[in-house]
């Protein structure tokens, strides 16, 4: 099994994130740090992540978490801020987020120890649409809304067209429903900034057919079998 796949199936991170960890020198095989892709883990090899031995996990977990504002989507934060994994320290496996929400955002977040599942949730090739309720600091003109719908440029790369609906508005701003198929860093916030406004509140409410529903803020539940199968069949 290739090293990045081994790490994903051990609950360290998604395969893509595992490749990043390898490049940074966080991973050792039989005591030797490796930085190149393609290393194959054989039976009897000892794999370590940041000095801690990791093993393949048999039981897979699939968690829907209602992330509050103020939590970061990392296992460890150098600044000591709360993380989305703090509530899961007593789990007997290492969970990690399938996708991210920034510090100031809240809403639906999936946590898992299944690297293949995480890839199906996050990789654009699987076409999983994420939907957000966004409150803006300004009222956007029809022209600016059309610009957002057709796709703006972020880092000189055009965002694919998005679905956008105005739910309500008043003199202080609008409430928008925005659905995207990409997951660039702070994408919706940067999209809005490109047309001269900001998101003062952002909440992810849906990922594919999986809905946040009435799950209380800061609470979690396990995905149902049908919900898990949906992502594997997408």
Highest mean pLDDT of the ranges 14-18, 63-67, 126-130: 63-67
CA distance 1 to 233: 24
Could you say which of 77, 102, 104, 114 is catalytic?
102
pLDDT (tens digit, 9 = 90+) per residue, 175-225?
Answer: 999 999 887 888 999 999 999 999 999 999 999 999 999 999 999 999 999
Beta strands in the chain, from DSSP E residues, in sequence order: 27-29, 32-33, 47-49, 52-54, 62-67, 96-97, 106-112, 130-136, 153-154, 157-158, 163-170, 173-180, 199-207, 210-211, 220-222
Determine the topology of domain 62-125+215-233 in CATH: Alpha-Beta Plaits (3.30.70)
- Tell me, yes or no, if 45 is annotated catalytic: no
Name the H helices within 64-214. 115-122, 142-150, 187-194
Q: Which residues contact residue 174 at a Cβ distance below 8 angstroms, ignoring those fewer than 6 apart?
A: 135, 136, 138, 139, 140, 166, 167, 168
**Structural tokens at position 110:** 């999936």
**CATH number 3.10.290.10 is the correct assignment for the domain at 3-54:** yes
CATH homologous superfamily of domain 129-207? Alpha-L RNA-binding motif (3.30.70.1560)
pTM recorded for the entire structure: 0.78
Domain ranges within the chain, ordered by starting residue: 3-54, 62-125+215-233, 129-207
CA distance linking residue 79 with residue 82, whole number of Å: 9
Q: What is the pLDDT of residues 71-108, one digit of tens each?
A: 999 877 888 899 999 989 888 788 989 988 999 999 99
Distance of CA 56 to the CA centre of its chain: 22
Question: Distance between CA atoms of 10 and 17, rounded to whole angstroms?
Answer: 13
Q: Do domains 3-54 and 129-207 have the same CATH topology?
A: no
For residue 163, pLDDT over 80 is answered with yes
Least confident range of 44-48, 157-161, 190-194, 207-211: 157-161
């Amino acid at each position: 099994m290739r090293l990045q796949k081994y790490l994903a199936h051990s609950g360290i991170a998604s395969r893509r994130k595992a490749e990043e960890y390898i490049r940074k020198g966080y991973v050792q095989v039989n005591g030797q740090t490796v930085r190149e892709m393609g290393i194959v883990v054989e039976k009897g090899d000892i794999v370590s992540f940041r000095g801690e031995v990791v093993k393949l996990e048999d039981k897979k977990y699939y968690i829907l978490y209602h992330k509050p504002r103020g939590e970061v989507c990392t296992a460890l934060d150098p600044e000591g801020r709360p993380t989305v994994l703090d509530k899961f320290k007593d789990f007997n496996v290492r969970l990690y987020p399938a996708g991210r929400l920034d510090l100031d955002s809240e809403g639906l977040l999936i946590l898992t120890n299944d690297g293949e599942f995480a890839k199906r949730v996050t990789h654009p090739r699987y076409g999983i649409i994420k939907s957000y309720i966004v409150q803006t600091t300004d009222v956007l003109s029809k022209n600016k809304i059309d610009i957002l719908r057709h796709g703006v440029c972020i880092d000189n790369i055009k965002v694919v067209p998005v679905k956008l609906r105005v739910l309500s508005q008043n003199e202080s701003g609008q409430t928008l429903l925005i659905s995207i198929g990409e997951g660039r860093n702070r994408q919706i916030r940067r999209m809005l900034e490109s047309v001269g406004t900001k998101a003062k509140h952002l909440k992810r409410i849906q990922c594919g057919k999986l809905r946040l529903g009435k799950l209380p803020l800061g609470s979690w539940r396990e995905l149902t079998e049908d919900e898990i199968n949906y992502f594997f069949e997408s």
